[in-house]
A and B are shown apart, each in its own frame.
Chain A
Amino acid sequence: AAGVIQSPRHLIKEKRETATLKCYPIPRHDTVYWYQQGPGQDPQFLISFYEKMQSDKGSIPDRFSAQQFSDYHSELNMSSLELGDSALYFCASSLGLKEYEQYFGPGTRLTVT
């Protein structure tokens, strides 16, 4: 079965650069969630979208923004990168606002040097 696709899988950036992470949800899923997971930490909710509209916002820095497009894929844009942004970024998707039925992607490992 098709799963959540994230790209790139690995990304290395320097401080103050920008990065764009992409997420392609499971076909027919209309809700996307973004999480940040630091080393040895639990995933922290950043932001979610339902039917292309922001549905909820968590601990997402102002330097980050995200959107969901008409084909339901989502992009997380990160600017003025800091060393502390180095983490695994997961995208999850669900059919409808069913946060309890989220399917996670493999993640993008972002390293800021």
Chain B
Amino acid sequence: GESVGLHLPTLSVQEGDNSIINCAYSNSASDYFIWYKQESGKGPQFIIDIRSNMDKRQGQRVTVLLNKTVKHLSLQIAATQPGDSAVYFCAESSNYKLTFGKGTLLTVNP
């Protein structure tokens, strides 16, 4: 079936560095893509989203890039901080439901 997946299960970076988390999706009919951050014991927290008719969207310290040609999504976090340590999920939206990809654990070393 359709699925969303991540290339890297873990990512370790130094505080202050930029982080890039990648995601591949397979459903070309998806109209929204969302990145969530999930801290231990908590629910997913919305970070940023992007519509399928866009290729880039910027937020505060975060940027999402969408490449529909290769069905690839990435989340860039600038100046990564210890508080950014969490599991990050991409999700695609279609037919009124979200399909999550496998999470990437981001660890920020001080």
- Measured CB to CB, the residues of A under 8 A from B are 4, 33, 41-45, 48, 50, 55-56, 58, 90, 92, 97, 99-107
Contacts and interface: CB of A to CB of B under 8 A. Distances in A.
A58 B45 contact: no
The 4 closest A-B pairs by CB, nearest first: A104-B43, A100-B32, A42-B100, A100-B93
B43 A100 contact: no
Given A42-B100, A42-B103, A48-B96, A100 B44 contact: no
B89 A45 contact: no
The binding surface of chain B is classed by DSSP as strand
Give the size category of B's interface with A.
20 to 34
Interface of B: 31-32, 34, 36, 41-46, 49, 89, 93, 95-103
Contact of A99 (B42, B43, B96, B102): B96
B93 to A, nearest CB: 4
Given A33-B97, A107-B42, 18 more contacts: A4-B43, A41-B102, A42-B89, A43-B89, A43-B98, A45-B97, A48-B96, A56-B95, A92-B43, A99-B32, A99-B93, A99-B97, A100-B31, A100-B49, A104-B36, A104-B44, A104-B45, A106-B42
A29 to B, nearest CB: 14
A45 B99 contact: yes
